[in-house]
Amino acid sequence: MMQQEFNIDDLSNEPRIKVVIRKRPVNKKEQAKSDVDIIEVKTGQSVIVKEMKQKVDLTKYVEEHLFNFDHAFGENCTNEEVYMTCVRPIVTAAFQRARVTCFAYGQTGSGKTHTMLGSVANRVPGMYVLASHDIFTALQRPQFSHLQIFVSFYEIYCGKLFDLLNDRQILHPREDGKQNINIIGLMEQRITNVDQLLKIIEFGMSARVTAQNSANTDSSRSHAILQIQLKEQNNVYGKISFIDLAGSERGADVIDQNKQTRKDGAEINKSLLALKECIRALDQGKNYTPFRGSKLTLVLKDSFTGNCRTVMIGNISPCQSSSEHTLNTLRYADRVKELKKPTNQDL
């Protein structure tokens, strides 16, 4: 349950970009294989990877890698804690007319969907639902009671957009005269309560799963984008985008078996690199954002310019067997936003 009340006014000290890391618990399969937990989360900000290595003479040693982020969540933290710490502030900003974005980045199986969607079977709410509770609470205030909420849900697979709320119709983003990017024909469903959002998400998720069985796509190769718009009359007042990114390991699939997987991998790699460059441009206050670098960054153009905020949640698996992908995720997250390097005194 939500510990504190949603406070619209308090945005003091909130950075425009937050990069956080979330470690998931060791699962049964890993336990059964005696896979070792090599990740230590310290002081809520630092992550240490204890990578097992072997010298040429076969003696084993541990190499430690230390990273520092805006926040680091250990395996015992809940979706509520993640929400309260880093997502609620951007939902608040959307009520101050911002375009805000929350990304879940990480290898397949690291907890991206658990964070965003939660677990429907175990009734664990994720970011989508926790945010919508706050949204409908805010609408009870007179100052926001005129706002209407619209939801869209689509995925980007192999550089193409598919509407998850409309029979996987292929969509095309177009730039209008004011240089805004519009997705022509994208389904926008109005909702007036949290239950309606849940039904829409369930419907959209089933469109992802169906495609998985019928074609050679799977959800780890596509980016799922859930957008919640706050509208006043027909104008966008604020916008919240949640992006469950394709598995980051897929970007490295460029030397994989068949042609299609290679093509997918190259496309995913391109979009994850473009995403990093766009957030970096925002972080460094550059007046040029390379949003044309991929379909993903193109459709998110307004999230990288003007009144915008971004949260990147880097999800990591705890075990030795994932150390390479985990280090890649930590390095990626580290590059997105440069923070001061931690010293031993900080720990």
What does 221 interact with, of ligand ADP, Mg ion, none (CB < 5 to 8 A by kind)? Answer: none
Position 315 contacts Mg ion (CB under 5 A):
no
Q: How far is the CB of 224 from Mg ion (least distance, A)?
A: 8
| Residue 216, binding choice from ligand ADP, Mg ion, none, Cβ under 5 to 8 Å by partner class | none
* Structure token pair of residue 307: 């009144």
Would you give the binding string for ligand ADP spanning residues 94-113, x where CB under 6 A is met? Answer: ------------x-xxxxxx
Kind of pairing, strands 235-244 and 308-316? unpaired
- Give the nearest distance from C-beta 117 to ligand ADP in angstroms: 8
The structure tokens listed for 225 are 């984008």
| Distance (Å, whole) CA 314 – CA 111 | 9
Indicate the SS3 state at residue 184: strand
Asked if 180 is part of the footprint of ligand ADP (rule: CB under 6 A), the reply reads: no
Which residue's entry shows tokens 């022509």?
184
107 is in an annotated binding site: yes
- Determine whether the annotation assigns residue 118 to a binding site: no
Q: What number of CA atoms fall less than 13 Å from residue 117's CA on the CB side?
A: 22
**Site mask, ligand ADP, residues 18-57, x = CB under 6 A?**
------xx-x------------------------------
Mind giving me the DSSP string for 50-86? Answer: EEEEE-TT--EEEEEEEEE-SEEE-TT--HHHHIIII
Site for ligand ADP contains 85 (CB under 6 A): no
Closest C-alpha among 51, 23, 227, 247 to residue 132: 227
Q: Which of residues 108-127 bind Mg ion (CB under 5 A)?
A: 112-113
Q: Which chain residues interact with Mg ion by CB under 5 A?
A: 112-113
Q: Which chain residues interact with ligand ADP by CB under 6 A?
A: 24-25, 27, 106, 108-114, 119, 315
Binding residues: 106-113
